[in-house]
Amino acid sequence: MSRSRLAAAVMAASLFLAGARSASAQNNGNPSILQAVQQLQVSIDAVKASVQSVETTVTGISAIETALTALQSAVATLQTSVNALGSDSHPNVRLTPPVDVASPDLASCGFVNISSQSRTIQTEIFTLDGSLAEGPYTFAYLPGRGNAIGNSTANFLYCRFTVLDGVKSDIRAGMSICTNTICKQTIPAE
C-alpha cells in the first residue's frame, strides 16, 4: 500500500473514531461496541506510529544515499590522485636514495646496460639541496657494458642515471660506498 493511501486510511479511521467517540459518549447502553471502538482506536494509533516510523526510515535512507554518493565521489578523486602518484613522469631516469657518505669514504655511481642495444647513459651525483656534486658524464655503452663515476664525500649524496636513448629498465644502477681500496656497500637505484 502506498504511503498516500495508508495516510488516507489513517485519516478516515481517525475521523470515524472521532464520530464514534461522540456517539459512544451519548450511548452508554452497549459496552461491547464501545470496547470495539476503543480497540480500533488503539490499532489505528499503532498503524499511525508505523507510518511515521516508515517515513523516518525513508528519510534516513535518502540521507544515506546522499552520503554514499559523496563518498563515491571522494573515492574517485582519491583514486585519480593515487594513479597520478604512480605514473612515471621520468620513464628514463633511475635515482638512488640519498646516502650519508662520511669522509674518508667515497660515493661511486655505477650502472650496466642490460638492453640488447647500445645505450647512451648520463650519470650525475647530487647533494640533497639539488646541487650537482659531479658530472654529468655522458657516454654510449654496448649491451652488457657499464661504468662507475664518483669521488664525492662528506655529504648526503644521491645518483641520477638518465638513459638518453631508451628507458630506465635498460639499465641496472646503484651507488656504492667505497674506501680507496674496497667498496663496502651498494644501494640500488629505483
- Element (H or E) spanning 11, and its range? helix 3-26
138: cell is 655522458
User: CA of 79: how far to CAs of 1, 66, 70, 90, 138, in Å?
Assistant: 43, 20, 14, 21, 39
13: cell is 479511521
Name the pTM for this structure. Answer: 0.54
CA nearest to 69, candidates 80, 77, 57:
77
CA nearest to 114, candidates 170, 159, 33:
170
* pLDDT tens sequence across 28-68: 567 788 788 888 888 888 888 888 888 888 888 888 888 88
* pLDDT tens sequence across 62-104: 888 888 888 788 777 767 665 555 456 779 999 999 999 988 8
Domains in the chain with CATH codes: 3-86 (no CATH), 93-188 (2.60.290)
* pLDDT tens sequence across 159-188: 999 999 999 999 999 999 988 888 888 999
